[in-house]
Structure 1
Amino acid sequence: MQYLELNALQTELGSNGLVILGFPCNQFGLQEPGSNEEILPGLQHVRPGNGFIPNFQMFEKGDVNGKKEQKVYTFLKNYCPPVGDTFGNPTGRLFWDNLRINDIKWNFEKFLVGPDGRPVKRWHPRTPVSQVRRDVTSYMRSQAGLQKIMMLEREEQ
């Protein structure tokens, strides 16, 4: 379901500068077992199916936690506080060693990164996309307000 909602969010806010990036991972319940070449056909025909094609960029599958985690996730996790202090029942569900409190908890955990490349916010995987939409919209409005103030200050000088 979140794939469909993320497509809608990209359509709705893309013209305002939102860029959604997808990073498939098989560390959570082994839910992404296919090769990189199988991911898009799997989305189109199986989950969510019905001809679904993401309208946002999908990267190659990789690890988001552990010894082989992608550097982008090391960076994001160092800037944003963890979304919870437990992993529920990790036995047979989480596939990396040395769980750390700041690790990604499950598929569809999301991060908001500002246009300057700085992480702004992190959402729990079960956070509804509707809440993400509200937070992103609020952030975009605050940034637009700051830009107007900076332009006014420049004009005054």
Structure 2
Amino acid sequence: MKEHGFTVLGFPCNQFGKQEPGQNSEILNGLKHVRPGGGFVPNFPMFEKGDVNGADEQAVYTFLKSSCPPVGSSFGDPADRLFWKPLELSDIKWNFEKFLVGPNGKPVKRWHPSVNVSTIRAEIRKYLLQMYTHDMFH
């Protein structure tokens, strides 16, 4: 998909179950040696850790969330799991919620964290094919 200009971007966050407690300098080693471990090194850019929800959320997430409808209305039981206030319907529900942003910078799609990666891959491929076909004939 890289031949079509597709890139994954990673944004670490500690607001979900406090699962990313390390400093920015520790995150890559944590991925490589702990979770998932086994020498894993991301093949995509990783940004500094920051908030995706609440009063201190990163501006990119304010933009993304305002551009795509929420992917569910329930947070489950937020006690001891979610670490921000106030809770908003448009908030990121859990780690690994995903957004697809087009080449023009406009968000196209948002996926709940429980959506299987094979479904997301198929939808991204379909989108890229439509983009490629549209560009080829226009």
TM-score, with structure 1 as normaliser: 0.86
1:131 aligns with 2:119: yes
Shift of 1:14: 1.8
Aligned-pair identity in percent equals: 62
Residue in structure 1 matched with residue 131 of structure 2 by the alignment: 143
Q: Whole-Å Cα distance in 2 between the matches of residues 14 and 129 of structure 1?
A: 17
2:57 maps to 1:69 = yes
> Considering only aligned residues, what root-mean-square deviation do their CA atoms show, in Å?
0.6
* Structure 1: distance between partners of 2:112 and 2:95: 9
- The structure carrying a bigger helix percent of its residues is 1
Question: 2:35 corresponds to which residue?
Answer: 47
Structure 2 runs not aligned, ≥5 long: none
Give, in angstroms, the shift of residue 129 of structure 1: 1.1
Distance 1:49 1:91 in 2: 28
- Aligned residue for 1:91? 79
Give the distance between the partners of 1:68 and 1:14, measured in 2 at CA. 32
TM-score (norm 2): 0.98
Structure exhibiting the larger radius of gyration computed from Cα positions: 1
Aligned length: 138
1:109 aligns with 2:104: no
* Cα drift, residue 15 of structure 1: 2.4
* Whole-angstrom CA distance in 1 between matches of 2:132 and 2:44: 23
What CA distance in whole angstroms lies between the structure 1 residues aligned with 2:32 and 2:21?
16
* C-alpha displacement of 1:143: 0.6
Runs of 4+ in 1 over 3 A off after TM superposition: none
Q: 1:51-93 deviations in whole A, cap 9, x for unaligned?
A: 1000000000000000100000000000000000010110110
Distance 1:128 1:40 in 2: 24
